[in-house]
Structure 1
Amino acid sequence: MSLEQLPNKVLLTVFSYMNTVDLFRAFHHLNERFDTQLKVHVSTHKVDFRWITKRAFDVFCRTSLGLIDTNVTSLCLSDDVEFPNLFHHFLLNPEQNFVIDPARILRGFDEYGHRILRSGIRFTMSQFVNLKYLHLDVIDFFEPVVQLLSECICLSHLTHLKITQNMNSYFTHAPRIVNAVWKLPKLTHFRFLSMNTMNISGVTLSRCTSRTLLSFSLERIDISWAQFFNLLEDSPNMTHARISICETAEVPAIMQIIPSITNLNLTVGYVPNVLAHIFDLMPNITHLTIEFKDASSFEYEFFNGHKWKQIVLHHLPNLKVFSFFYVFFARFDTTIEQDVDTLLATFRTPFWLDERQLFVQCDWLPEHGGKPVLFYTLPQTCGYNYSIHPMVKSRSTHPAVDRDSMLCGVPSMNFSKSLGYINRCCSRSVQNIQNAELMVELPVQEYVWRFISTFTHFTSLSVRLTRMNHPSQLQQLINLSPNCHSVTLSNISPAKLVELDINQTCLRRIALVEYTFNAVECSAFANSPLGKQCTILQIDLTDRRHVLVLLDEMPRLQQLTCKCSDAKWDIDESLADENQDEVQWLQERLPKTYSINYVEDSFVRIWIV
């Protein structure tokens, strides 16, 4: 049976398994029926520019996007390491008001240091009149974001906005971003995620009222209590909030009661009286998640089940779901076990076990004095990283902990010899975790490996080899997950790298760190199983000419990020004439369609056509 014979419903189901850009490249303009169903598909599925080549991006923008822009409801623009400069190529005439090092501006480049796209096909957000969901992923430059958000004011259907960024300088521009977001006429959900912890508590945020905003999340972005309540006062219908409070933040003397908040996710220092006062100002909280950011010495009178029972009964009358994550250090005059048993006993009461059905757990390393104790509710939902160590002990109030359900929504797992918290006697299963990152230091002992081997759903892998002659576990680990698309390898020699027999076909992004490759090693890697399927590569090179070797011998390569050692250019007089800016040197030797620019830490990034 051919695709033309499939009913429309089945055809749309087939379409749903493909990236929208690839889908249009395969089926657009084949016949009228396919074109109609493609428009139906794009009205319910994301146009995601994170997973395509530059050539596919250019072709899609030239031949398809302008014809379906009014049908697009979900859009993702990225400036990630995999897809550099796409944001600038997409947006029409991005503002260029910030300072750029003049030495980085070369002929054929714009003020950002990016090669000028020759196609001339660019868009404005006003063209996407039915856009509902917008995701700006790892945007490095601030001004284009502000321009884009200002254009979104005319979008009457835009309800969801997510921004992921990795620039510490964003805090100086926070007022303009907040002001632009709060002005969006129909926005209901806003999530702002910083890749690095950022403190904007000293910045005065703009005041602009939004009566449509229902949920906002500022992750890894510290603000003050005053800023938080100002945002809530400017959003009278807000029900969900996720925020991190600066450790030095003081509670203003006068704050307005916020009856609309029902779901609060809070990262804050533990000050019981302050929290009780804050909860009094939000009397309708039903779901509360707290991550206490500052580890402190164990103070039984301040943190225990009896204290939290009083807080819940007197300050959280409508609370239904409660979870927390707390780190403390055991007292010097007692053993860790004594402090843990004392603390757990206060949560083994009918109030917590029967009425609230809340269970807690403590994890610690017994052989290391002064090491922290992790104390959290089950299942663990707080934190960005879950670390695992084979010697960690655990105690819980749960009568029979279901190890299959104790890790919910944990985005990252770290297996290490010096970090982590797990009882090695427990065969915890983590198969319920999806789209997570796995970090491992190899080799590991057999009982740890048995546990790791159950974790087959990770999509990103970071590995460091402590002994160069043990690559077998690395090979098994890479082949373990059929969904792993990214791997970072540290401290591994090219000789061991080329020996790996990889049968994992999804892997496309490889970062090689803590080793500098010469010409022979570059060629060996390019012709290895890993090199042959690699499309995104980060690597350190002894010589900039090795870039040409990699590009010549890796035909599938779409993007290359590299750092080239300058030592050879300083001592080799025969190369003196070529001792010039790396970007300019590469520009003169590579096709004009390649996009070449500097990124942080002196890396050069090449987007390949």
Structure 2
Amino acid sequence: VEMNLECLVNEILLDLFEYFKIEDLFHTFYNVNYRFNILLLKNFHSYHLDFQSVSKSDLHVICTKYLPLIRKQIISLRFSDDDNTPVQSKYIPIFFPSFLQLSHLRALSVYCINSSNLMERLIIEWHQLPYLTTLSIINCNFKMKIDFHTIINSIWSLDHLVYCYLNGIYGTSTSFIAPDVTSLSIQYLFYQRGSMDWDVLPKLLKNTPYLRSLNTNIIDYSEPEKELSSYTTFTLTRLNVYMRVTTNTLSFWKYLPNLSHLTVSMKLFYLDGKQWEYIIRTYLPELKIFRLYMDFAADDCNQIEEYVDRLLNSFRSSFWLEKHQWYVRCHWEKMPESKGWPGIVLTTLPTWINDSSVLGSSCYRSTCPDDNVYNSYDHIFKILLTMNSGHMFSICKKLRILTFYADKQYDHPENELQLLLNRMPNLHTLELCLDEDEIEYKPFSNLKHDSIRCLDFEYYTFNREECELLIHSQLSQKCEVLMLSTKHLDDILQLINQLRNLRSLKIRLL
């Protein structure tokens, strides 16, 4: 049955436009007729410019032909200098001489941008974007040092900012510095790949009084300069925290009675089920969602299974199994005494951690009545696997990035890898780590997958025969981003000429 799009009312067409990338939207509908032009240039007010996965030619077309027509209708903008879109930042001053022209911008993201000049310019101009509610600065390594305190104070001075994501800002202090100004708008703060000292938390929460969600790392422990009033409580309802501190921080939980979602990752030390039960019962009456990850060494390497059983038994009270139905699983490796203290990982179920010590462990035991119930890893987006890790998997529907270590001891590692790929229907990136000194097989040549668009073989050196195999493989014919090493310039030309969908090629020429 054929259908004429022009028969649809404007409201439906505008809804359909939401699902198009801007380059496809204009290529399909612009200048088809007067009605579509009016819809695109006057009635559609939700343009999202995501330059993280756009080719250089498309970037030029968008910014020279379409951008001047829709400046006031752009509501989100993302720049990126990562491997998908390298050296993009050098075009930003050309196409965006001033961000003030984007007067209705609501969300701004800078990803892998290393330009200190651009950052200094943003600090000045984002104050004049009256609708800005979301700001993301991710994996930015500034070549010239920028005062992190200045960045934080500038962000906290944005009147309407609600969501703030700061993940990997290098060339500045890696420790979070509490703002000197108060933000009455920020409700969600994500600060990762850096640390936050204990004594910073009270000032942060005081100067962000409406903060509802915090995701951060607490690595160093120091006593607060002033004890908070016993009547002090904060509005925080969601907390995701990485802790490498002593149990003296237990006193902090009493200031967070409104928490409904708590995610805790702990290294080097742990609290057992009875201690966590006391904290939750005493200080966190509103807690509904609890996710826990603890990585520590066993006290007795000779009685590891008895040690695990004692720990699991502390999570078997009616509080855990009946009231909340929160189950936990312990993972560990069997090892001889000479190997030292075995590590134990305890995590709540379903597993949400992509740690290889969890996914590749030979021994595991849980408080769940059926250990196999939670062998699905649908909560994981990125994972690292070895040849012996796949036995724990059912289907990973949300997995986007897979790092796979091939092993010569298997006669046909490509078969094992293909079985894994079949369980990952939405995989986008495959990083295949090959042992180039010993490898005698080409596990990439016959692999098939419909959604993989990025192949990372950067640390394996391809010879000419292997380049030919790669070019004719199903994965490469669909590939848009490719990273590898080679010794021959001719191979680079072959890849460029024969991989038609390629938009980014990163080569290590040896």
TM-score interval (norm. to shorter): 0.7 to 0.9
The structure 1 residue matched to 2:104, chosen from 127, 130, 136, is 130
Match of 1:226 in 2: 199
Contact 1:403 1:428 in 2 (8 A): no
- For residues 414 and 562 of structure 1, do their structure 2 counterparts lie closer, same or farther at Cα, with a shift above 3 Å needed? closer
Give, in angstroms, the shift of residue 402 of structure 1. 6.8
Return the alpha-carbon distance in structure 1 between the equivalents of residues 134 and 36 of structure 2.
29
Aligned to 1:593: none
1:304 aligned to which of 272, 278, 292:
272
Aligned residue number for residue 449 of structure 1: none
* Correspondence list, 1:365-380, <5 A: 365-367=333-335, 370-380=341-351
Amino acid of the residue matched to residue 89 of structure 1?
Y
Deviations 1:5-62 (A, max 9, x none): 3343543454444322222222222223223443589634632112221111111111
Question: What residue number does 1:162 align with?
Answer: 136
Taking a change above 3 Å as real, the CA distance of residues 35 and 123 of structure 1, as seen in their structure-2 partners, is farther
CA distance in 1, matches of 2:186, 2:432: 42
Shift of the alpha carbon at 1:495? 9.2
User: Corresponding residue for 1:86?
Assistant: 88
For 1:402-421, list aligned pairs within 5 A. 403=373, 407=377, 409-416=379-386
Q: Does 1:272 align with 2:255?
A: no
Q: Which amino acid aligns with 1:235?
A: T
Amino acid at match of 1:221: G
Change (3 A) 1:358 1:531: closer
Identify which of 258, 265, 268 aligns with 1:295: 268
Q: Deviations over 1:87-110 (max 9, x none)?
A: 3312x3xxxxxxxxxxxxxxxxxx
C-alpha root-mean-square deviation of aligned residues, in Å? Answer: 3.5
- What CA deviation, in whole Å up to 9, does each residue of 1:205-255 have, x standing for no partner? 552221111111102221212223222222122121111112354443434
Aligned to 2:366: 396
Is 1:488 equivalent to 2:453 in the alignment? no
Residues in 2 aligned to 1:204 and 1:264: alpha-carbon distance in whole angstroms: 18
Paired residue for 1:194? 168
Partner residue, 2:394:
429
**Correspondences of 1:574-593 after superposition (within 5 Å):** none
- Secondary structure in 2 aligned to 1:238? coil
Moved more, 17-26 or 477-486: 477-486
2:383 counterpart letter in structure 1: M
2:271 corresponds to which letter in structure 1? F
- Would the aligned equivalents of 1:146 and 1:176 in 2 still touch at CA under 8 Å? no
Separation in structure 1 between the aligned mates of residue 444 and residue 506 of structure 2, nearest angstrom: 23
**Cα displacement (A) at 1:268:** 0.9
Q: 1:210 aligns with which of 174, 180, 183?
A: 183
Could you tell me which residue of structure 2 aligns to residue 534 of structure 1?
A: 479
Distance 1:559 1:409, change over 3 A: same
Letter in 2 for 1:398: C
C-alpha distance in 2, partners of 1:479/1:408? 14
2:51 to 49, 53, 57: 49
The question of whether the paired residues in 2 share the 8 Å contact of 1:387 and 1:415 is answered with: no
Q: Distance in 1 between matches of 2:124 and 2:233?
A: 29
CA contact (8 A) 2:445 2:470 kept: no
- Counterpart pick for 2:403 among 425, 429, 439: 439
Structure 2 equivalent of residue 561 of structure 1: 506
Quickly say closer, same or farther: Cα 1:479–1:240, change in 2 above 3 A: closer
Tell me by how many angstroms 1:467 deviates. Answer: 5.8
Equivalents in 2 of 1:17, 1:515: separation in Å? 38
Distance in 2 between the 1:76 and 1:230 partners? 31
How many residues are aligned here? Answer: 501
Deviations 1:246-288 (A, max 9, x none): 23544434346342222222111252232x2212233433332
| Superposition map of 1:14-29 within 5 A | 14-29=16-31
Instruction: Summarize the Cα distance change of 1:554–1:400 in structure 2 as closer, same or farther, 3 Å threshold.
Output: closer
Contact (CA 8 Å) 2:457, 2:483: kept in 1 or not? yes
Aligned match of 2:227: 254
Determine what percentage of the aligned residue pairs are the same residue. Answer: 25
Paired residue for 2:281, among 313, 333, 337? Answer: 313
Distance 2:433 2:301 in 1: 41
User: For residues 485-531 of structure 1, what are the alpha-carbon distances to aligned partners after superposition, in whole Å with 9 as ceiling and x for unaligned?
Assistant: 33223327799559824554543322223333456654564455444
Q: Could you report, residue by residue, the CA deviation over 1:434-484 in whole angstroms, capped at 9, with x for unpaired residues?
A: 1432233346xxxxxxxxxxxxxxxxxxxxx66686434445655665533
Q: Structure 2 vs 1, CA of residues 434 and 525 (structure 1 numbering), >3 Å: closer, same or farther?
A: closer
SS in 1 for 2:373: coil
Secondary structure, counterpart of 1:380 in structure 2 = coil
Question: Using the alignment, how far apart are the partners of 2:431 and 2:238 within structure 1?
Answer: 37
Contact 1:21–1:52 (CA under 8 A) maintained in structure 2: no
C-alpha separation between the residues in 2 aligned to 1:168 and 1:468?
Answer: 46
Match for residue 59 of structure 1? Answer: 61
Q: Over residues 109-167 of structure 1, what are the superposed CA-to-partner deviations in whole Å (9 max), with x where a residue is unaligned?
A: xxxxxxxxxxx533422122222222222223343133224311111211112221153
* Cα distance in structure 1, aligned partners of 2:503 and 2:212: 43
**Which residue identity does 2:64 align to in structure 1?**
R
TM-score scaled to structure 2, two decimals?
0.85
| Contact in 2 for aligned 1:403/1:429 (Cα 8 Å) | no
> Structure 1 residues 496 and 364, CA, compared in 2 at 3 Å: closer, same or farther?
closer
Is 1:327 the counterpart of 2:295? The answer is yes
Judge conservation of contact 2:331–2:361 (CA < 8 Å) in 1.
no
Structure 1 unaligned blocks of 5 or more: 93-119, 297-301, 444-464, 566-609
Q: Name the CA distance, whole Å, in 2 between partners of 1:155 and 1:268.
A: 36
1:8, 1:471 → 2: CA distance?
A: 50
Counterpart in the other structure of 1:595: none
**1:150 corresponding residue in structure 2:** 124
CA deviation after TM superposition for structure 1 residue 83, in Å = 0.6
What SS does the corresponding residue of 1:134 show, helix, strand or coil?
strand
Cα distance 1:551–1:500, how it changes in 2: closer, same or farther (>3 A)? closer
Q: Deviations over 1:392-418 (max 9, x none)?
A: 222222223573586463222332258
Aligned in 2, Cα 1:228/1:391: closer, same or farther, shift over 3 Å?
closer
1:180 corresponds to:
154
Length-normalised TM-score, structure 1 = 0.72
